[in-house]
A and B are shown apart, each in its own frame.
Chain A
Amino acid sequence: MDTSRFSSMPTANGEPVFASPWQAKTFAMAVQLNESGVFTWSEWADELSTHIAEFEKSSSIVDSDQYYTLWQSALETVLSRKGKLS
């Protein structure tokens, strides 16, 4: 992908893409594990959706800490199911 001509430009209308380093880390782990074939993106989206739906039974996502906490939970669940954590 040629993105060099945009490399010095802001990417998200001035907002930081990640609010803290752990958000970036859990994001990147899921993307890399998908690309190395540990799970498909559909599997991932299903897992994340399930965690979000469960959370939203009793609460609401209002900030990115909550969102990426659910992301991390989904990641732990999918890896556990695939026997990658034992």
Chain B
Amino acid sequence: MGDLPSNHHHHAPASEIEERVKKLESLLIEKKLVDPQSLDKLVDTYEHRVGPKNGAAVVARAWTDESFKQMLLEDATAAIATLGFGGRQGEHMVCVENTASVHNMVVCTLCSCYPWPVLGLPPAWYKASSYRARAVSEPREVLQEFGVALAHEVEVKVWDSTAEIRYLVLPMRPQGTEDYSESQLAELVTRDSMIGVDVLSASR
């Protein structure tokens, strides 16, 4: 397969790339290296079952249960596992807490590492060259483009994900939510807030 079109074809026409994928799939099925039913199940999992609602449940629990929050900040993988989330691409989770003085945001500069069990698969912009470069070089400008205006005294910390470590941002609990139940709180939590490019309010 050395004569396959390489990535120098910057934007392969859909039909060409469809053919490449189909050709590889047929070969791998023939060699029994992949199983079609398992492939379908995998796709279904990430299209319909695993996504930011999982992370929102983690965040809402941390906001309402101080001992869970401490566990989450000390050993995120173990804390998240107590809610039933874990496995693939969530083996080594680190949770970073936003406070009045520190705002955290997450990037993967080299590829697209992301905490699948709590956020699902990353949005297109997370994989784009622009975000991956600029999150590090000019995080405040990027945050502004996401509509996040931070006070000057707030320190911005940027965490670069790797194949080994995946980060989850614990956003600040919005003011005016003292009476909210855990499930009401979870409803407020956006995917972007857990990547660190959104700040939450009670009036979502």
Residues from chain A with a CB closer than 8 A to the CB of B18 are 20, 22
- Which positions in B face A, CB cutoff 8 Å? 1-2, 4, 6-7, 9-12, 14, 17-18, 20-22, 24-25, 27-28, 31, 33-35, 38-40, 42-43, 45-54, 57, 84-89, 110-113, 117, 120-121, 123-124, 127-130, 162-164, 190-192
Which of A's residues lie within 8 Å of B, judged by CB? 1-3, 6-7, 9-13, 15-20, 22, 24-29, 31-33, 35-36, 38, 41-42, 44-46, 48-49, 51-56, 58-70, 72-73, 75-76, 79-80, 84-85
Contacts of A66 in B (CB 8 A): 10-11
Contacting residues, chain A, for B34 (C-beta < 8 A): 29, 32-33
A84 near B31: Cβ-Cβ < 8 Å: yes
Complex interface: chain B residues within 8 A of A36 (CB)? 33
**Contacts A6-B49, A20-B14, A52-B110; A29 near B7 (Cβ below 8 A):** no
Name the contact of B21 in the complex, choosing from A26, A60, A64 (C-beta under 8 A). A26
A74 to B1, CA, bound (A): 13
